[in-house]
A = this chain, B = another copy of it.
């Protein structure tokens, strides 16, 4: 990964700022003949879109995707896009910019934000909504991920919110079908967590505060053999992809940090031959990856999202001129940015798997 591009054969480049004219991405290296509709992509974007509940930022952005290149329309239905193997450019125009909101913090460094580091690095920064470091950039990832999902036959990538601040789900009540239920504002897989999270986040929001969250992403249908033993480990590239999401401070694969606390006997995933003559793993502590290479089990990753740094409570900071100041971030912000990170995490995992699928096919001829 470098600059604003990630991936080797399936490559994604994103561009655009919070308050510029538009943002977008180029998906390069997509195999030819992949079929998708604009609606396939829009549906993923709608899941990430702000303004859908009181727990996420109230910025109103339709996030309408335009697909500008890289496809031929199916002549039969006039709607299905068929990839040609050339770069797929997608664009989303910024509509609700309200840049005046940000006026007063143009010279202040908000604690926890990239304001100070930008100024140190570049000598200037786009203070409007965080510029390039805005979470709006992640819309482009979600669009790319919608294509990636189509690249690997049989692949399903789903994510869920498993904790918010001090509150966690009950994994015993895990129900994938509930995650995208219209009654579920949290992408939680546990219906019982909704009232708990609601009460908790209402309190946080009213206090002008924010909390973090943990998201789990599970990829099923990942063929065994993706990845490589050293610097192209599948888990390494997933970690890289998830850590590249704004506000992510930790990533783990399978049982993750728990693996450091248990014994080798407890951690081993034993195997037996199944009745169908295929190997069967009796557990999945490894999260579907051994030695950097997928086992064919579900790939499981989790990531921790810090609380948004835009809070109403004043915090001490400095400004561009070297004055001590108090910073209080008004405007439209998520009390828990982790919620909307669910489709973003899915998209990153899907893109990494698609890339490794093509790389594996390249090196070995398999797949």
CA A324 to CA B237, docked complex, whole Å = 33
Stretch of A51-59, A172-180, A186-194, A300-308 with 4 or more beta carbons under 8 angstroms from chain B? A300-308
Could you give, for residues 270-306 of chain A, a 1 whenever the CB lies within 8 Å of some chain B CB and a 0 otherwise? 1111000101001000110111111110000000111
- Nearest CB of B to A355, in Å: 10
* Contact in complex: A286, B112 (CB < 8 Å): yes
| Complex: A262 Cα to B116 Cα, angstroms | 23
Closest Cβ of chain B to A201, distance in Å, is 12
Chain B nearest CB from A303 CB (Å) reads 9
- Chain A contacts with B in 235-252, Cβ cutoff 8 A: 235-237, 239-240, 243-244, 246, 249-252
Instruction: Give the residues in chain B near A224, CB-CB below 8 Å.
Output: 116-117, 120-121
**CB–CB B23/A69 < 8 A:** yes
* B16 with A89: CB separation less than 8 A: yes
Number of interface residues, chain A, beta carbon within 8 A: 149
User: Known contacts being A14-B87, A365-B361, is A117 close to B225, with CB within 8 Å?
Assistant: yes
A-B contact pairs, 30 of them (CB 8 A): A9-B363, A13-B28, A15-B68, A15-B70, A15-B89, A33-B124, A72-B126, A84-B131, A86-B131, A112-B269, A113-B291, A114-B293, A117-B290, A118-B229, A121-B225, A132-B230, A133-B230, A209-B263, A209-B265, A210-B264, A211-B262, A233-B244, A235-B249, A249-B252, A249-B287, A250-B257, A251-B252, A260-B306, A268-B315, A272-B318
Task: Name A residues whose Cβ lies closer than 8 Å to a Cβ of B.
Answer: 1-6, 8-9, 11, 13-17, 20-24, 26, 28-29, 31-33, 66, 68-70, 72, 82, 84-89, 91, 109, 111-114, 116-118, 120-126, 131-133, 137, 163, 165-166, 204, 209-214, 224-233, 235-237, 239-240, 243-244, 246, 249-257, 259-273, 277, 279, 282, 286-287, 289-296, 304-311, 313, 315-318, 322-324, 338, 358-367
